Chains A and B, each alone.
Chain A
């Protein structure tokens, strides 16, 4: 219902400004400095004795229940068994909330004991999913979001988010379509956009001159695109080598075209409209059939029935989903209704049919996906019927797009999560790759950290925020939270100029430079920060080559900026007080020209590694500015990598959870890496369903590698033996209960900490403290628009 009303809103707003996802409050400020008020301590003391204070504390720490025995000392709140390892890794926690920042004191020298800044003031808000398009041949899923960004997921590589094309203001995408390996989108601004997937940017946009476009679909032959426009025309575009060209209009209708579907032969098109479905002959452009969709009963009779989605099957059946909540089957020979299924009381918003046309999924605004199957009613006979079978309830909000891929049903909607629900009857072997998967966060880092100065840069689509971490005092027992001496404060909010959204951003390790890039511009700022005065100056004269970047990175001494750009090349610029100077360009010797999505510079400033979407990792020698070597290409994408400060080994994490360590100097995999590959990783490790997003090294313990994904934080101790499938993987609690000697035999290389949830970023600071940036999913859920109210049993 809520969607229905928003339809009018969109219609009105398509000429003017379309609502933005970013906050409106700071639109006028481009450079704003913030100071936090200082009365927080008072508040905290007042709250301390009240019940809700403790309750809030408990929730922020993530405890299920208080351990009442330890509550006698109000300053120390103990988080039960939150410790990471009995061997000596302790997590000292302190909470950083937007209201209530805390920080902890420095530590004794116990090995692996960390003070943790638990950061929850990054209000990252994922944008709702508007359209899905699946490419059977390349197994890529394209996802369009409400903010106009387009993402490409690799379905057979654990749904890794390979490519992100950031959106722009006023760019509401309504439809996505693959034509061969080319991706097209159309939106309410009336334009058709083709994307340059190699460089991850918009290739061109042409206007269809038919008002807002509601739908776009390409035929199976890959020759034509059809778009449905607000003015009631179906426009055919011919897909040429490098462009698309308008061919002609089909017969113009009175009302807008909401949905379109080609017959697999390409000779007919079915169009869903207000209150009716039209079938067009593509040759003549005339309408063959006009089928009327029933309006709802009772009061909804006066409302138009919107045919939200239509699917044309090769046997001539047309399936439609409409705002009355019906999935209807029509015969295109006679133009009559064959059967109708009442799926929901609200709208059926999306339909998708499987490749072999024996299964259909329908997404509704109640957040349900309903599956229909084409099964024979009498066994071993051929008279088949569409029968409603399964129901999947994985969403809380409207489902705006569904797609049935070979082995799974993918759905996305207003609640901004992409859900991959496997169809177990299509899967031969059950494995980690075939589990239910919910993708909440992008597989890129949105946070960068100035390690030396304790600054954090948060990347929002339309602005950047710079925060200074808080400080704490006192000592605590493991798992306790510390008293906050100084609250974290927001130093800066930087609004992007222009309509494009930010593609990548970085803050230099010294905290003196901030750089960000959109699709069109790259901006570099000098940050002066002495005590309470913060000033920022834009570096006006940038070298021409630094016009746009796919990925940005500073060298560890903050003297150089690396900017990944087109053709898999990396530009180097040197930074100084006077400004920015172009130094040179690093180009790979050979290979693909896919955009680089990861950069890693070595601590000693000698090496730079880059990873691109074709899974290639190139290593450059920065001193000679030449390509040093290329890591052997692995079948899965690199999700995170880092160069070890001591050994200069490149540590790579892949989407299929495999890990490699490559010695740059010796140009070969290290022995440890070979051992890992030979022995194989533990089942529990491989079955995790989110990719690792960061690789860090502990300078005090060279054998430690710190990794994190969305659900956990892991320390790999390369000096300890690897676990095999028989050993207990999550063994911290067991180890705790054992004696010193037994521990040695039981312990293995993987120490997993699941104290933190919904992690966006983990960073190790030079003072041996960890910064954990969390974004609890509950907080996201509270900021979503209200879902359709449903009567539930016993409510």
Chain B
């Protein structure tokens, strides 16, 4: 078992987004790999893996437009064929590299940013030219380094090549330098730190006009200066344009030089017409602040990368034509990590004021849910509403959110909002807004897990906990049910710290400082109190299934206690500093992250035995505050004892660096790899007669498949894909004659057609037998499947769980719960009784 970076979290850290002429791709750095996306489908095609450290920059090979250079902090420059994902060459430089630049005029030379001193803590960078040796070997050491300039800005957008690679312009702080290669002479121009109006003049980015000798520079105060005549020390001249109200992050000339693109924190892409003063076009509301802009070599497409982990593909007509969205990473995740019970998507803070739904299975951003419903103002230091708490009920029908403003200042403003799921629009609709839910900040909230009545409990710093129920509003007498307060409870005016419902919702535990109070939600009777000082209770969680009689709590004084609720006594306790306690909803397992001596350890245990099932030392070096168990679509059958706890669900957790990490097993990894190759086949197919045939065929197939697998996210495996894959992957010049191919191709189509036809047949059969015993049905369908070819068998076996209950969704879930939850709870009771 190994720990992997969950693929989605690192989408873009660096500029190099490039589009390519024939099949449009977007390349971007992502951790230690370069990801290739299709601009047409916005789909992730593959990644170029091979670097051992952060990839810091990429640049298309000007000599061959199918190749790309990438540089990395591991000290290597690699040349890739990015269409096929093949590593062509590795050049070993030996120093950590921070940016790469190439120019058409300088063939075989790359320009790199390296640190001045070996310890990169000092902010000294230098620009070096590296002659790449021509050699047939895969790995070459490039030792021919020549320094172009020292004291380079660490910001890679502050360096740019000028017209035809004749000069290179680089800026640092308040100085602009232009180095002419032919003359080997540097001209430098400096600005004053501030002008009379107090504007900040420091350079933030540079772009050079492709055909004219004109350098565009962006500045901290939002000004853009166009420098000309910079061959003279004195008679240089510049014109100033000002639209951005904050620092200009990026500048880019279109390849013909007719326009200049600029972007900043305003998240507005501005297109300045070159040469006509201040005529400009805007493309507003692109999301997070724009970090980088690049244009394709033919000028047809622009790409902007944003601070919220997004790439926007924009047509030259200034229309957004594609959005590649990774996991949105705001400044901080204030909500817990949650799983939407319906879509099984991960839910957390997304764009400011939004909740994002992210499908972990497909590693794809699904959508943002606007909670705050106010226009976000892109201005630093402005106190704006932010979603701080969110909770789903167990069916995923209700969503409760808390938004807050004024965390820093004294006057706090917050709203509690309840959202119901609308089947018709397939999204959450605001049901109730409660403006003064509490007199002070809401600390935590949770939904009851009972089936009949949904109840929300909120606890706040005013010392109260409140239960909220749906009730018919007496005044309006509408059909719609709004939420209102049902019960207000407190305990000795102590400040509550946490709350939790038991698995069957028969008990509510609310912790008040050092005391845990157990309430009955039906009668609102205080059943008992549990107290184990010292230390304020930090986390509370009930055991599940067979361990549901246990209540686990953690305190600030490094204590993990497990209470037996039947005896109301402390079952066991251990001294461990736990920063996050998370229970698995599908098993008895509880995961505890403990932070000790500057690294985090993970313990997985069952409440009934004080011995961990699994420990993993040194998971990461930061404190973990957010974690979630994500139920698997299909359980794994791992026999390995240490990974058994991963069979039913997967553990995801978020570090303070906003990296989302998970545990996965080796078998999973293999599957991920295979699925990624499959995606390549799907999307990189050129438009050929084959493709058209295949596409038509696939559309047909999808049409047929959709009714049977409405909710399933699982992509369908194309029928007879082996033959087609082979056909398409073989270069044209080695293919056998078309006459041979034709029969093969037709036969492949035939096979797949029969396979598809079986689906609706089976479906019909199933629906007619709906009233039958589910177990019997399972047997039947399994028996039937045996008649199919081996490929089909595999697939169906995988989806046994889904095929069985072809009842309604609610029924299915109920059945599951009857089978698993209730029974185990009973079993637990029985087991504990004697």
List the interface of chain A (C-beta within 8 A of B).
341-343, 373, 375-380, 387-391, 425, 793
* B229-237, B281-289, B563-571, B822-830 - the one binding chain A: B229-237
Chain A residues in 8 Å Cβ range of B163 = 378
B279 to A, closest residue via Cβ: A342
**Across the interface, do B212 and A373 meet the contact criterion of CB distance under 8 Å?**
no
**Across the interface, do B236 and A387 meet the contact criterion of CB distance under 8 Å?**
no
Name the one of B213, B228, B245, B279 contacting A389, with C-beta atoms under 8 angstroms.
Answer: B228
Which of chain B's residues 265-294 have a Cβ closer than 8 Å to chain A?
275-279
CB distance from A159 to the nearest CB of B (A): 21
**Across the interface, do B239 and A390 meet the contact criterion of CB distance under 8 Å?**
yes
Query: Which of A341, A373, A376, A389 has most chain B Cβ within 10 Å?
Result: A389
CB distance from B189 to the nearest CB of A (A): 11
**Across the interface, do A380 and B239 meet the contact criterion of CB distance under 8 Å?**
no
Chain B residues in 8 Å Cβ range of A388 = 239, 277
Chain A residues in 8 Å Cβ range of B240 = 390-391
User: Is B214 part of the binding interface, using a Cβ–Cβ cutoff of 8 Å?
Assistant: yes
Given A342-B278, A343-B277, A375-B229: A389 and B214 within 8 A (CB)? no
Chain B residues in 8 Å Cβ range of A379 = 213, 229-231
9 A-B pairs besides A378-B213, A379-B231, A387-B228 with CB distance below 8 A are A342-B276, A342-B277, A343-B277, A373-B229, A377-B228, A379-B230, A389-B237, A390-B239, A425-B236
State A373–B214 Cα separation when bound (angstroms): 14
Question: Interface digits, B229-266 against A, CB 8 Å rule (1 contact, 0 not)?
Answer: 11100111111100001000000000000000000000
Given A378-B163, A379-B213: A425 and B235 within 8 A (CB)? yes
26 CB < 8 A contacts A-B: A341-B276, A341-B277, A342-B278, A373-B228, A373-B237, A375-B228, A375-B229, A375-B237, A376-B213, A376-B229, A377-B212, A377-B213, A378-B163, A378-B211, A378-B212, A379-B213, A388-B239, A389-B228, A389-B237, A390-B238, A390-B240, A391-B239, A391-B240, A425-B235, A425-B236, A425-B237
Name the one of B230, B231, B235, B239 contacting A387, with C-beta atoms under 8 angstroms.
Answer: B239
Chain A residues in 8 Å Cβ range of B238 = 389-390
Chain B residues in 8 Å Cβ range of A390 = 237-240
State A388–B237 Cα separation when bound (angstroms): 10
State A391–B195 Cα separation when bound (angstroms): 14
State A793–B223 Cα separation when bound (angstroms): 14
Given A387-B275, A389-B239: A425 and B234 within 8 A (CB)? yes
**Across the interface, do B237 and A793 meet the contact criterion of CB distance under 8 Å?**
no
B197 to A, closest residue via Cβ: A393
Chain B residues in 8 Å Cβ range of A343 = 277
B164 to A, closest residue via Cβ: A378
B236 to A, closest residue via Cβ: A425
A340 to B, closest residue via Cβ: B276
Chain B residues in 8 Å Cβ range of A375 = 228-229, 237
Chain A residues in 8 Å Cβ range of B276 = 341-342
Q: How many residues of B contact A (CB 8 A)?
A: 22
5 tightest CB-CB pairs across the interface, nearest first? A377-B212, A389-B239, A379-B213, A389-B237, A379-B231
State A378–B213 Cα separation when bound (angstroms): 5
Query: Which of B163, B228, B236, B238 has most chain A Cβ within 10 Å?
Result: B228
Which of chain B's residues 208-235 have a Cβ closer than 8 Å to chain A?
211-214, 228-231, 234-235
B162 to A, closest residue via Cβ: A379
Query: Which of A373, A378, A391 has most chain B Cβ within 10 Å?
Result: A378
**Across the interface, do B231 and A380 meet the contact criterion of CB distance under 8 Å?**
yes
Chain A residues in 8 Å Cβ range of B245 = 793
A386 to B, closest residue via Cβ: B275
B209 to A, closest residue via Cβ: A377
B273 to A, closest residue via Cβ: A342
State A795–B789 Cα separation when bound (angstroms): 73
Chain A residues in 8 Å Cβ range of B234 = 425
CB distance from A101 to the nearest CB of B (A): 37
Which of chain B's residues 563-590 have a Cβ closer than 8 Å to chain A?
none
State A551–B231 Cα separation when bound (angstroms): 54
State A379–B178 Cα separation when bound (angstroms): 13
A424 to B, closest residue via Cβ: B234
Question: Interface digits, B156-172 against A, CB 8 Å rule (1 contact, 0 not)?
Answer: 00000001000000000
Chain A residues in 8 Å Cβ range of B279 = 342
State A343–B277 Cα separation when bound (angstroms): 7
Chain A residues in 8 Å Cβ range of B230 = 379
Chain A residues in 8 Å Cβ range of B278 = 342
A327 to B, closest residue via Cβ: B277
Chain A residues in 8 Å Cβ range of B214 = 377
State A380–B212 Cα separation when bound (angstroms): 12
State A1–B212 Cα separation when bound (angstroms): 37
CB distance from A425 to the nearest CB of B (A): 5
A326 to B, closest residue via Cβ: B277
State A343–B279 Cα separation when bound (angstroms): 10
B235 to A, closest residue via Cβ: A425
State A697–B162 Cα separation when bound (angstroms): 66
State A373–B238 Cα separation when bound (angstroms): 10
State A378–B230 Cα separation when bound (angstroms): 11
State A343–B278 Cα separation when bound (angstroms): 8
B234 to A, closest residue via Cβ: A425
Which of chain B's residues 177-216 have a Cβ closer than 8 Å to chain A?
211-214
Chain A residues in 8 Å Cβ range of B277 = 341-343, 388
B278 to A, closest residue via Cβ: A342
Chain B residues in 8 Å Cβ range of A793 = 245
CB distance from A794 to the nearest CB of B (A): 8
A393 to B, closest residue via Cβ: B197
State A379–B209 Cα separation when bound (angstroms): 12
State A343–B241 Cα separation when bound (angstroms): 12
CB distance from A337 to the nearest CB of B (A): 13
State A390–B213 Cα separation when bound (angstroms): 17
CB distance from B440 to the nearest CB of A (A): 35
CB distance from A474 to the nearest CB of B (A): 42
Chain A residues in 8 Å Cβ range of B213 = 376-379
B166 to A, closest residue via Cβ: A379
Chain B residues in 8 Å Cβ range of A342 = 276-279
A793 to B, closest residue via Cβ: B245
State A379–B166 Cα separation when bound (angstroms): 11
CB distance from A713 to the nearest CB of B (A): 26
CB distance from A456 to the nearest CB of B (A): 36
CB distance from A191 to the nearest CB of B (A): 40
A358 to B, closest residue via Cβ: B235
Chain B residues in 8 Å Cβ range of A377 = 212-214, 228
State A793–B228 Cα separation when bound (angstroms): 28
Chain A residues in 8 Å Cβ range of B275 = 387
Chain B residues in 8 Å Cβ range of A341 = 276-277
CB distance from A393 to the nearest CB of B (A): 10
CB distance from A162 to the nearest CB of B (A): 31
State A262–B228 Cα separation when bound (angstroms): 31
State A385–B568 Cα separation when bound (angstroms): 89
CB distance from B279 to the nearest CB of A (A): 6
CB distance from B180 to the nearest CB of A (A): 9
B238 to A, closest residue via Cβ: A389
State A580–B685 Cα separation when bound (angstroms): 111
Chain B residues in 8 Å Cβ range of A389 = 228, 237-239
State A590–B748 Cα separation when bound (angstroms): 119
A385 to B, closest residue via Cβ: B275
State A391–B234 Cα separation when bound (angstroms): 18
Query: Which of A377, A379, A390 has most chain B Cβ within 10 Å?
Result: A379
State A380–B228 Cα separation when bound (angstroms): 12
A794 to B, closest residue via Cβ: B245
State A380–B231 Cα separation when bound (angstroms): 8
B229 to A, closest residue via Cβ: A375
State A583–B586 Cα separation when bound (angstroms): 122
Which of chain B's residues 374-404 have a Cβ closer than 8 Å to chain A?
none
State A580–B163 Cα separation when bound (angstroms): 82
Query: Which of B237, B238, B278, B279 has most chain A Cβ within 10 Å?
Result: B237
Question: Interface digits, B523-567 against A, CB 8 Å rule (1 contact, 0 not)?
Answer: 000000000000000000000000000000000000000000000
CB distance from A353 to the nearest CB of B (A): 16
State A793–B221 Cα separation when bound (angstroms): 14
State A760–B287 Cα separation when bound (angstroms): 58
